């Protein structure tokens, strides 16, 4: 069980926020866990700019340092360099070439993170529409990205663990 999830909806009705139903505790894992998989994943993926850079490579087909810098206002050259190095080290991205010929492509672990990225994209369309769209109206994923049909979404999930 993830230790961090223990505070979501306490079984003690006095401690549970009003209107929140108690949750069922997850079943015991078959293999003992050293760390919560969600927490361990977030330690890497929740670093500032990581998902934005994955988005740039996977969905916008950007692959150069200057493109990342231009597409992400607020990121400094120093932070971009550091984040790209970390992402290459963690195999989220692959660095190809050197110097001015350097470009990046999605790595094996970056590919594994794509379903999470699509889920965040869809969450933003539905729940952050006031920030995402000029008219503030939520939209379904298929309306915004018609090529992201069910087959595309399912193809993101690796059937082999």
pLDDT tens for 44-100 read: 999 999 999 999 999 999 999 999 999 999 999 999 999 999 999 999 999 999 988
Residue pair 72/61 in contact by the 8 Å Cβ criterion? no
Domain presence at residue 40: no
pLDDT at residue number 28: 76
pLDDT at residue number 18: 64
Residue 12 has pLDDT above 60, yes or no: no
Domain presence at residue 87: yes
Q: Which residues contact 159 (CB under 8 A, 6 or more apart)?
A: none
**For the residues of 85-152, what is the DSSP string, one character each?**
HHHHHTTSEEEESSGGG-EEEE-HHHHHHHHHHHHHHHHHHHHSHHHHSTT-----HHHH-TT--HHH
State the chain's mean pLDDT as an integer: 85
What is the rounded distance in angstroms from the CA atom of residue 21 to the CA atom of residue 4?
A: 18
Helix 50-58 and helix 108-127, axial crossing angle in degrees, nearest 10? 100
Supply the CATH number for residue 72's domain: 1.10.10.10
Reported confidence tier of residue 1, pLDDT bands at 50, 70, 90: very low
Q: Which residue has the higher pLDDT, 70 or 33?
A: 70
Domain presence at residue 43: no
pLDDT at residue number 126: 94
Domain presence at residue 27: no
Q: Which residues contact 69 (CB under 8 A, 6 or more apart)?
A: 75, 77, 80
Domain presence at residue 84: yes
61 and 103 inside one domain? yes
Domain of 70 in residue numbering reads as 49-108
Question: What is the percentage of the chain residues whose pLDDT exceeds 70?
Answer: 81
103 and 79 inside one domain? yes
74 and 118 inside one domain? no
pLDDT at residue number 148: 80
Domain presence at residue 34: no
Report the number of distinct structural domains present in the chain.
Answer: 2
99 and 137 inside one domain? no
């Amino acid at each position: 069980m993830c230790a961090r999830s223990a505070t979501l909806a306490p079984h003690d009705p006095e401690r549970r926020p009003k209107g929140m139903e108690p949750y069922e505790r997850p079943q015991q894992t078959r293999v003992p866990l050293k760390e919560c998989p969600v927490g361990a994943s977030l330690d890497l993926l929740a670093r500032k700019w990581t998902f934005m850079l994955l988005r740039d490579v996977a969905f916008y087909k950007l692959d150069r340092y200057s493109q990342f810098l231009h597409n992400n206002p607020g990121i400094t050259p120093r932070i971009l360099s550091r984040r790209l190095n970390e992402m290459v080290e963690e195999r989220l991205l692959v660095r190809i070439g050197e110097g001015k010929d350097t470009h990046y492509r999605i790595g094996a672990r970056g590919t594994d993170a794509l379903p999470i990225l699509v889920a965040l994209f869809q969450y933003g369309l539905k729940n952050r529409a006031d920030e995402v769209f000029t008219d503030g109206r939520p939209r379904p994923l298929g309306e915004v990205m018609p090529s992201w049909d069910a087959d595309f979404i399912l193809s993101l999930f690796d059937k082999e663990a």
